[in-house]
């Protein structure tokens, strides 16, 4: 399983992560599937709807997911995942992330160290929700 992010798409995600620092940013990934590769062609910035602990957590309401789903359909694309940032934390899913993730979607995480986006790694939740498996990010 691979996640293909064009340099433009990756730049948008990193810029969003930098802007929201020290809070977590989040957004939706739209694109197409080509065999085991997901090709992300469009990004929608979403609001982090958490009112507390926004340095450590993010929340996307069902209304925002529905909006992203509709926007994808209108563009002839699929909603394939959600990105978020980890301010001053590695690009590895937290226990909170595991509890709130759904199988199928891709979850790229970008680590932001002292305001600067660094590692970007992507994850998919296992079907039994016991943990994440990393997927390869390519350009």
* Among the residue ranges 10-18, 31-39, 86-94, 119-127, the one whose residues contact Zn ion (CB under 5 A): 86-94
**Candidate ranges 4-12, 15-23, 46-54, 92-100; the one touching Zn ion (CB under 5 A):** 92-100
Q: Which is nearer to Zn ion, 97 or 135 (CB)?
A: 97
The whole-angstrom separation of Cα 40 and Cα 10 is 10
Residue among 38 and 86 whose Cβ is closer to Zn ion: 86
Which two structure tokens, joined as six digits, stand for 24?
A: 């977590």
- Give the CB-side neighbour count of residue 78, counting CA atoms within 13 A: 11
Query: Tokens 């992507």 map to which residue?
Result: 122
Is 97 a binding residue for Zn ion by CB under 5 A? The answer is: yes
Least distance in angstroms from the C-beta of 118 to Zn ion: 15
Residues that bind Zn ion (CB under 5 A): 94, 97
């Amino acid at each position: 399983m691979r996640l293909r992010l064009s340099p433009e798409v990756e730049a948008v995600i990193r810029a969003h992560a930098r802007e929201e620092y020290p809070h977590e940013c989040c957004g939706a990934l739209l694109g197409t599937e080509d065999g085991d590769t997901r090709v992300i062609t469009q990004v929608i910035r979403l609001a982090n709807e958490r009112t507390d602990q926004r340095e450590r957590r993010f929340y996307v309401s069902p209304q925002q997911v529905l909006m992203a789903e509709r926007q994808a359909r209108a563009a002839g694309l699929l909603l394939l995942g959600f990105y978020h940032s980890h301010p001053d934390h590695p690009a590895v899913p937290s226990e909170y992330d595991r509890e709130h993730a759904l199988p199928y979607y891709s979850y790229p995480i970008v680590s932001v160290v002292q305001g600067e986006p660094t590692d970007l790694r992507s994850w998919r939740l296992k079907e039994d929700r016991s943990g994440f498996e990393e997927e390869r990010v390519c350009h």
